Amino acid sequence: MSAAPQKAKPGAEAIAVTVSAVVPLNDLVTRFEFKRSDGEAFPTFSGGAHTVITMNDDGRTRLNPYSLMSDPADTSTYAISVRREDKGRGGSLFMHTRVKVGDEMTLTYPVNLFSLDLRARKHLFFAGGIGITPFMSMIAQLERMNGNWELHYSVRSEALGTYVDELKYKFPNKVHVYYDDQSQSIPLEHLLDGQPLGTNAYVCGPKGMIDWVHATASAAGWPDAQVHSEEFLKPEPGKEFEVRLCKSDKTITVGENESLLEAIERAGVAAPFLCRGGACGQCETDVVKADGEFIHRDHWLDDDQHASGEKIMPCVSRFLGSLELDR
């Protein structure tokens, strides 16, 4: 134990897995199930945790985070559900079109940035579309603990209602589904009013929905600490830009369709990360010099830090111009 403080390792610990099932759920969403390749049991996890899956897309490494949506107590199988994004950067398309039963892949150990507040007397869930996934594992966990929960789930149509049938069958009195194409919407103000003291609210879905729940709860007098949300940002494509990595003495070009973090990794530079979605803070990087304009997209740095130009989150943020980083 003589070592100096160690630098954060890139990513959580990895687990080699074999794809055990590929189950299309509807036109957009497919569930992927995994067994450990070494035959051992998976670590159990807490509801709301995610894993980062490594895809080998013809030599290009893609790392995407997905919520674990299997029962946390089931250590034989992990499952994720992936929505196909036809206009995305290709990770979900790769999962939908290329991944087959028997494929060898790598998952990380579970990481939870969206955990249940176990003090809560009641858990009030708001899901939009594929945002249902973290609630699947939370519900499984709470059912084992006799937890008090209620789900309000907004979907586009009956045909795209991922897990609606299963949820309504198992929990007819706790699950409430709202169909966009039938002009139904979550009666949020009404639901936030009159909940028992000690209720915690959780929202996962599109950014607009998350903002709506936070703003409505805040206006209704809910403490911020009792309203939880998770939104994985995806790195957005953007104009190519050049970055000087000072510590590694390398100059890299970030392509239109890759993130700054991916470009750093492609150059063989080990950079810390966990969620790859702008939420966990692990990849925070110091800016040495910046000549141009930041495109900050993360949820980690605050407005002052964004304005300071001293930090950047390379998993989701970009730059227009030339940039020097302490990496």
176, 150 Cβ separation under 8 angstroms: yes
Q: Does 9 bind other proteins (CB under 8 A)?
A: yes
134 touches other proteins by CB under 8 A: no
Q: Record the tokens describing residue 156, joined without a space.
A: 């586009």
User: Which of 153/202 has CB closer to other proteins?
Assistant: 202
Nearer of residues 29 and 280 to other proteins, judged by Cβ: 280
Burial tier of 4 (Cβ tally within 10 Å: 0-12, 13-18, 19+): exposed
Identify the residue among 209, 210, 274, 313 touching other proteins (CB under 8 A).
274
Ranges within 159-198 binding other proteins (CB under 8 A): none
Residue with tokens 């990481």: 111
Q: Which stretch binds other proteins (CB under 8 A): 27-35, 37-45, 81-89, 150-158?
A: 37-45
CB of 227 to other proteins, least distance (A): 11
CB 282 within 8 A of CB 225: no
Q: Which of 88, 255, 281, 309 binds other proteins (CB under 8 A)?
A: 281
Nearer to other proteins, 15 or 95 (CB): 15
Q: Quick check: 141 and 116 in contact, CB under 8 A?
A: yes
Distance CA 316, CA 259 (A): 6
Q: How many residues bind other proteins (CB under 8 A)?
A: 33
**From 76-84, 212-220, 251-259, 278-286, span contacting other proteins (CB under 8 A):** 278-286
Where do runs of H (alpha helix) occur along the chain?
91-98, 133-144, 164-170, 188-192, 207-219, 260-266, 303-308
CA torsion sign, 218 to 117 to 135 to 175? negative
CB of 141 to other proteins, least distance (A): 7
Considering the complex, what minimum distance in angstroms separates the CB of residue 187 from other proteins? 28
Among 40, 117, 166, 293, binds other proteins (CB under 8 A): 117
For residue 167, give the 3-state DSSP assignment.
helix
Residue 213 binds to other proteins (criterion: CB under 8 A): no
For other proteins, which residue of 21, 101, 118, 159 counts as binding (CB under 8 A)?
118
Closer residue to other proteins, CB minimum distance, 13 or 189: 13
Pairing type for strands 318-325 and 241-245 reads parallel
124, 233, 252, 280: which one contacts other proteins (CB under 8 A)?
A: 280
Q: What residues are paired with 24 via a beta bridge?
A: 30
Residue 257 Cβ, how far from other proteins at the closest point, in Å? 29
Q: In degrees to the nearest 10, what's the CA dihedral of 34, 36, 41, 43? A: -70
Q: What share of the chain is helix, strand, coil (3-state, %, to 5)?
A: 20, 35, 45
Binders in 137-156 for other proteins, by CB under 8 A:
141, 144-145
Type of residue at 212: W
Site stretch for other proteins (CB under 8 A), options 2-10, 132-140, 234-242, 254-262: 2-10
Site for other proteins in 44-103 (CB under 8 A): 44-46, 49, 72
Please identify, among the stretches 56-64, 106-114, 211-219, 229-237, the one whose residues bind other proteins according to the rule CB under 8 A: 106-114
Q: In sequence order, what DSSP letters do the residues of 103-143 get, joined into one string?
A: -EEEEEPPB-SS---TT-SEEEEEEEGGGGHHHHHHHHHHH
- Say how far apart CA 42 and CA 107 lie, in whole Å: 11
The residues binding other proteins (CB under 8 A) are: 1-6, 8-9, 12-13, 43-46, 49, 72, 109-112, 115-119, 141, 144-145, 225, 274, 280-282
